[in-house]
Amino acid sequence: MAESDERTRLLTNENRPQYSFNSSIARERKKRVKQFQCLLCGIFLCCIIVALIVSIVFSINVTFDDGTASNNSTNETAPVEIFNILMSQTWPLKDEEIKNITSNDSSQWKAALLFGSKELDKKDNIELNTPTLPVDTPSYRHQKVTPTSIKALQLSRIGYLEEYGAKYMHRNGSKGAIMKICPNVTSNYLDEFCQKSTITCNELQRYRSFDGTCNNLKNPDKFGTSFRPFRRAIAADYGDGISSPRVSKSGQPLPTARTVSLIVHRPFYRDDVKFSVMLAVWGQFVDHDITATALSKGSNGSSISCCGDQSTIHPECFPVIIDKDDPLMKDNVTCMEFVRSAPTPTCCLGSRQQMNQVTAFIDGSVIYGVEHSLVSSLRTMQGGTLKMYVTKDNRTLLPVSQNVNDGCNREDARKKGEYCFEAGDSRSNENLHLTSMHTIWARHHNNIANNLSRINPHWNDEQIFQETRKIIGAQMQHITYKEFLPILLGPEIMKSFNLYPQKTGNFQSYNDSVDATIANNFATAAFRFAHTIIPGLMKFLANDSKSPEFIEMHKMLFNPFKLYEPGEMDRALRGAVNTNIEANDPFFTNELKQHLFERDEEKNNTKTKRYGLDLVSLNIQRGRDHGLPGYVEWRSHCGFKKPETFSDFSYDMDEYSLSNIKSLYRDVEDVDLYTGALSEKPLNGSILGPTLTCLILDQFIRLKYGDRYWYENPNEEIGFNPRQLDEIRKTTLAKIICDNSDNVTHIQPRVMERISQNNDNIPCEKIPRMNLTYWKDNLRKIPMGDNQMDVKTSQSNDIHIS
């Protein structure tokens, strides 16, 4: 009998023979069955894996795990139709006419203005007990980055008085829609803004005024000038018809701006590999050249706190409310600081308007300022140059600011002798890239001024300064319309509306009936689209381009001190031209949504923990503060079909953004312009959707067609001769960076686009440079009795000065 082993049955009721081996046939059969089963399992598993991969890829492109949508698809079914609609409009678009009535009742006018004066006194008394913001806080820095000049502060007081005068007028006799009530009586408050212009303009004046006056000879102190109201393309939509922030069509409050930010504008990171961060840098630089909204301040220029002591609430407060489900509520944060934009005076009593403190024209005011006192403070008054600070290693930076309350200067930096900077625009310290751009252009001004002084030694300081400023403004216009706008609008629209710079000759379409004034919607919503393309991490690159350093974006805010270190500006510039932007869509980096103006030491200090601001919430809130009508009204203004239901949005928005919007807003007409426009799919050849394309196109048409000093205009007395114009057309932002950085030696020619086969890194010397010898005066000596006199003559064809 066979011996027992591990295969022997312990219990058995049958006698069976014990074999010393199994059948080979049976073993083979079992083996093949197992192989077949494994094959089937493998095929099934592969199918599952493939399906999983496809679903993940699809979800990356379409939706996140929280249900939020990506907006990477373009509006491919609509471009022809949308383009045809745009082409069928009369450009620039006609602004909506606001009805007005004339009042001859002097007693009513007197009573209305007296009521406004009393309300202004009340505001001043409230400010005696209203707390100000702590200096070293994100909210204080935010208020500092929206500056209000002394002149704007004074004007805003009249605007506030008028606002309450309008409320008195409409409360006492006016019925129906709010209209402008214009005086037919004398008023000390309104006469300055109602009487026809008394400015005398010289139409052959060679140089622009600093404040934009006399650009338009028919409206010399209105079209495009500084310290005037933004232009209203559509009548304001205020809760009370006059000044209170916009509300739902039902009369109920709109969803809080913070909730819209959290639900619709969630964080998502998707690069646009075609364009560089320099696109956003230039966009901000140009934006600061043409817009500067005045913010409400205390009567002495102090900041206003809205989330502190609730017993005394300032009438200009409009804080962002934090909902109960907001993550900030776990730390008992119920309110985000927000102060309304300052009101501006107008001739008539009507709805509240906001003030632009700078000129509308692309004229370099961001470098020089718009008030004579500021311009003079930035000049050396020698050789037409600007003041600069010289570092220990003999580099030039912007002049320093020693104002400890500017929201930028820091104690630890001051101990090292490092300060923030001063420029023609007080926002120059907002981020390191912007400060670098200011520095580049101030250096560029001085380089041009020094060369003009050498070429024309008989020119005095004023002539050199003004001629340099004129060239700088022309170069800024050329870069904006040659390199920047085509990315925003696409080549087809640029060509169709004659927005590209001329290749030869002059631009012949200046129209003095075109009002170049910046639209309220442009400054408050449309041109803020660029916030969505800012990445959370900024790259810094050394010369070798192989050792990148990445810095969180919020650490660059109000932190220009790296510029004191040799090589750091070059690393920042190289990083900007070598970092992808984020895709233009409804989604934002958390650097802007959670950490705006935050400093790490404040965040980590448990005793005084302070949270960064949410820029998206602030942008939405600003639109409501300004009474911007809802998104659907702007669609209609542009000539597109006005949506009547949420399903009408599906043509231009992806379903996930639309779903989030629908979950928050009660009515299709409630959707904010900023949220609706950013949620549109971009058009082919552009990074913008239809509504943003329309609103930005309209403004830049006005800035070109409505600028008498546009650099390509044919009048040589105030413009440039043909050869000078040819030299200005050589301008590229790449060359200006090359010539005015410390040691950038290689760069791609189109710096707002990423490096590619057709835009590769090349040595700086291969990029064309403007030849200033065409600005040389030809002087011929003419006998005058016993003396000789230098007389300027036409330039010869063979001028060559090294």
pLDDT in tens, 562-592: 999 999 999 999 999 999 999 989 999 999 9
Domain membership flag for residue 40: yes
Distance CA(4)–CA(23), nearest Å, equals 20
- Amino acid 731: pLDDT: 98
Helices (H), 525-589: 568-577
Distance CA(400)–CA(673), nearest Å, equals 39
- For residue 66 the two structure tokens come to 């929280």
- Amino acid 102: pLDDT: 84
Look at the pTM and tell me if it is higher than 0.75: yes
Q: Is the pLDDT of residue 513 over 80?
A: yes
Q: Is the pLDDT of residue 55 over 60?
A: no
The domain tally of the chain equals 1
The overall average pLDDT reported for the chain is: 88
Distance CA(312)–CA(304), nearest Å, equals 11
pLDDT in tens, 695-719: 999 999 999 999 999 999 999 999 9
Cα angle for residues 613, 614, 619 (degrees, 5° grid): 120
Model confidence at 655, pLDDT cuts 50, 70, 90, reads confident
Q: Which residue has the higher pLDDT, 269 or 730?
A: 730
Model confidence at 144, pLDDT cuts 50, 70, 90, reads confident
Model confidence at 607, pLDDT cuts 50, 70, 90, reads low
Cis omega (within 30 of 0) for bond into 92: yes
Name the residue type at position 161: L
- Amino acid 105: pLDDT: 83
Distance CA(369)–CA(376), nearest Å, equals 9
Nearest-10 Cα torsion for 410, 411, 412, 413: 50
Q: Are 210 and 368 in contact (CB under 8 A)?
A: yes
Q: Which residue has the higher pLDDT, 60 or 95?
A: 95
Model confidence at 351, pLDDT cuts 50, 70, 90, reads very high
- For residue 580 the two structure tokens come to 């992808």
Domain membership flag for residue 593: no
Distance CA(77)–CA(652), nearest Å, equals 9
3 state DSSP class of 231: strand
pLDDT in tens, 177-214: 678 888 876 666 777 777 777 789 999 999 999 999 99
- Amino acid 35: pLDDT: 62
Q: Are 612 and 558 in contact (CB under 8 A)?
A: no
Question: What count of residues does the chain have?
Answer: 802
Q: Are 523 and 356 in contact (CB under 8 A)?
A: yes
- Amino acid 12: pLDDT: 41
- Amino acid 1: pLDDT: 44
Distance CA(354)–CA(626), nearest Å, equals 7
Q: How far from each other are the two terminal CA atoms of the chain, in whole angstroms? A: 116
pLDDT above 90: percentage of residues in the chain: 71
Question: What are the φ/ψ torsions at residue 296 (nearest 5 degrees)?
Answer: -65, 135
- The residues assigned a catalytic role are 288
Cα separation values, 739 from 447, 622, 708, 743, 763, Å: 9, 39, 30, 9, 12
- Amino acid 468: pLDDT: 98
- Amino acid 66: pLDDT: 37
Q: Is 531 annotated as a binding residue?
A: yes
Print the SS3 string covering 267-305.
Answer: CCCCEEEEEECHHHHHHHHHHHHHCCECECCCCCCCCCC
pLDDT in tens, 441-454: 999 999 999 999 99
Domain membership flag for residue 469: no
| pLDDT, mean of residues 723-737 | 98
pLDDT in tens, 237-257: 999 999 999 999 999 999 999
Question: What are the φ/ψ torsions at residue 756 (nearest 5 degrees)?
Answer: -150, 180
Strand 180-183 to 335-336 pairing: unpaired
Domain membership flag for residue 1: no
Domain membership flag for residue 641: no
Which structural domain range is residue 53 located in?
A: 24-62
* Cβ-proximal residues to 31 (8 Å cutoff; 6+ apart), any chain: none
Strand 228-229 to 355-356 pairing: antiparallel
pLDDT in tens, 523-562: 999 999 999 999 999 989 887 666 789 999 999 999 999 9
Query: Mean pLDDT lowest for which of 316-330, 355-369, 523-537, 539-553?
Result: 539-553
